[in-house]
Amino acid sequence: MTSTALTTPRLGPFETVLPPIDAARAAFAISRSQVWPDALDRRLLTSIMGLCERAVFASNTVEGLGHREIERPPLAGTAVLLMLRRPLLYRWLEAVTGCAPITDVEGRVVRTWPRPGDELAWHDDLNGKGRRLGITIGLGSNAYEGGLFEMRARPGKEPLIQFRHDAAGTALVFEVSSRCEHRVHPLVAGGPRQVFTGWFLG
């Protein structure tokens, strides 16, 4: 693929625009993450948020880490996956992050409420499935306090990013490796905090 093709890729029928590759690569090198505004086209985002409003969520406890709810059956989650399962996006991610090859993506919609236990403690997402990068996309329409996503380096614990999903449709892509770990803070008020959370595999 030529560098011209990589600088302005557009995804799918909605022609979602990926951020310019050089700036994205520079941002990722510093914070091991990259914010991708408007990752979902507005029309698609509206449909997916509509699916989320009608969705059923099941309680899910992650042993030793915390609790959240997961969309079951995964209707909105599957719609997001269809958007992300694109070789052009995989090539963009490989060029931006240096994580290669990317061959697949998995994920689902999760939500947390301001109640005891709804949070995720420090973890690395390394579970043997070939996870190379994490992605979260804001899908909520209710404001909330707390609920920060935080990532730090290992072993030194230097802070890398703190990110709050305030704008629906914005994606955060972050490194999954033994060099870093992340957590999600509990909500203090408002919400629910509702995000698609997934992984690019390779």
Ligand X SMILES: O=C(O)CCC(=O)C(=O)O
Using CB under 6 A as the criterion, which residues of the chain lie in contact with ligand X when the complex forms?
110, 120, 125, 136, 149, 182, 184, 195, 197
64 torsion bin: left (phi>0), alpha (psi -120 to 50), beta (else):
left
Question: Are 197 and 134 spatial neighbours (Cβ–Cβ below 8 Å)?
Answer: yes
Our CB check for ligand X shows the closer of 16 and 112 to be 112
Q: In terms of Cα–Cα distance, which of 100, 68, 83 is closest to 192?
A: 68
Q: Output the residue with the shortest Cβ distance to Fe ion.
A: 125
CA-to-CA separations, 150 to 8, 64, 124, in angstroms, rounded: 29, 18, 12
Our CB check for ligand X shows the closer of 96 and 171 to be 171
Our CB check for ligand X shows the closer of 41 and 125 to be 125
Size of the site for Fe ion (CB under 5 A): 1
Minimum distance, C-beta of residue 26 to ligand X, in the bound complex (Å): 23
Minimum distance, C-beta of residue 199 to ligand X, in the bound complex (Å): 8
Q: Strand 159-163 and strand 171-175: pairing? A: unpaired
Minimum distance, C-beta of residue 169 to Fe ion, in the bound complex (Å): 20
Our CB check for Fe ion shows the closer of 41 and 108 to be 108
Minimum distance, C-beta of residue 183 to Fe ion, in the bound complex (Å): 8
Minimum distance, C-beta of residue 163 to ligand X, in the bound complex (Å): 8
Among ligand X, Fe ion, none, what binds residue 32 when CB lies within 5 to 8 Å by partner kind? none
Our CB check for Fe ion shows the closer of 95 and 182 to be 182
Query: Coil, helix or strand for 92?
Result: helix
> Distance from first CA to last CA of the chain, Å, rounded?
19
Buried b (16+ CB within 10 A) or exposed e, 181-199: bbbbbbbeeebbbbbbbbb
Selected binder of Fe ion within 41, 71, 119, 125 (CB under 5 A) = 125
Our CB check for ligand X shows the closer of 6 and 55 to be 55
Structure tokens at 2: 């030529």
Minimum distance, C-beta of residue 2 to ligand X, in the bound complex (Å): 34
Q: CA–CA separation, 76 vs 72, rounded Å?
A: 10
Residues that bind Fe ion (CB under 5 A): 125
